[in-house]
């Protein structure tokens, strides 16, 4: 069944209205017609079976026929990743794979060695959210991954007070087996070239655990994806 996204404010009674982008995809790409059956998720965890009622130039009206179970369930382990912003498509990849791995929230992080300025990262925010939405459609999730506003490293450390947070570093950390987690964790991933000494000191002063994975040196985007998968496997439902 073809999947579409519509935010909660587009649901009224037994009708859901798709926006111009979703309408264009339904009409021009998939070439669906009135009477065809589709599914729609609201980004908050609900998925509904629908029948196409009316296709317009900028909107499509669907009749809701019932609620269905999303094919991909929400992980019982809530992972927030704070990943340093990278240039170009590398960060797009992190966004996409975070959705596939069941991440709850992504925080674009601005660090000392970050290649991207905060104002430039903010301009890419809508693009990342669009990528996350498309990945949600493809993976069967019904709940959108939250993508926060870009955050400075020092500001984030203050916000993580009393939170279960781990900073992954290629040096100066302890073994992965020291990580403990109940139902949620925040994982901090560094930039190309690694964390600055100042940042490692700040993390230690804020009682953020610093963890190093053996002797492997990973590319920034590889680390964000691989370590998230390991966390989901160890504490979540990727098993």
pLDDT digits (tens, 9 = 90+) for 16-26: 999 999 999 99
Instruction: Among 23, 42, 68, give the residue marking a domain's end.
Output: 68
Percent of the chain, pLDDT > 90? 81
Residues 45, 85 within the same domain: no
The pLDDT score that the predictor gives to residue 63 is 97
Q: Which two tokens stand for residue 69?
A: 């179970």
pLDDT digits (tens, 9 = 90+) for 179-207: 888 899 999 999 998 999 999 999 999 99
Model confidence, pTM: 0.91
Residues 227, 186 within the same domain: yes
Residue 29's domain comprises: 2-68
Three-state secondary-structure class, residue 40: strand
Residue 147 is assigned to a structural domain of this protein:
yes
The pLDDT score that the predictor gives to residue 21 is 94
Which CATH number is 57's domain given? 2.40.240.20
How many structural domains does the chain have? 2
pLDDT of 1 over the 80 cut: no
Residues 15, 125 within the same domain: no
Residues 62, 86 within the same domain: no
Instruction: Among 42, 68, 94, give the residue marking a domain's end.
Output: 68
The pLDDT score that the predictor gives to residue 198 is 96
């Amino acid at each position: 069944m073809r999947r579409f996204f519509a935010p909660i404010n587009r649901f009224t009674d037994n009708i859901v209205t798709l926006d111009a982008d979703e309408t264009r995809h339904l009409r021009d790409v998939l070439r669906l017609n009135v009477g065809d059956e589709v599914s729609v998720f609201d980004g908050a965890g609900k998925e509904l079976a629908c029948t196409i009622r009316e296709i317009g130039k900028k909107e499509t009206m669907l009749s809701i026929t019932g609620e269905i179970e999303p094919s991909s369930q929400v992980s019982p382990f809530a992972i927030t990743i704070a990943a340093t912003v990278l240039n170009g498509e590398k960060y797009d990849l992190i966004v996409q794979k975070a959705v596939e791995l069941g991440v709850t929230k992504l925080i674009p992080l601005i660090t000392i060695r970050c290649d991207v300025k905060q104002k430039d990262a903010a301009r890419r925010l809508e693009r990342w959210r669009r990528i996350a939405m498309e990945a949600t459609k493809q993976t069967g999730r019904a709940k959108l991954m939250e993508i926060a506003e870009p955050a400075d490293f020092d500001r984030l450390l203050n916000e993580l007070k009393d939170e279960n947070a781990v900073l992954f570093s290629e040096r100066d950390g302890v073994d992965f087996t020291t990580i403990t987690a109940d139902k949620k964790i925040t994982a901090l991933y560094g930039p190309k070239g690694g964390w600055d000494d100042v940042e490692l000191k700040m993390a230690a002063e804020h009682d953020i655990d610093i963890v190093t994975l053996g002797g492997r040196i990973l590319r920034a985007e590889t680390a964000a994806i691989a370590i998230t998968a390991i966390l989901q496997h160890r504490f979540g439902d990727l098993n």
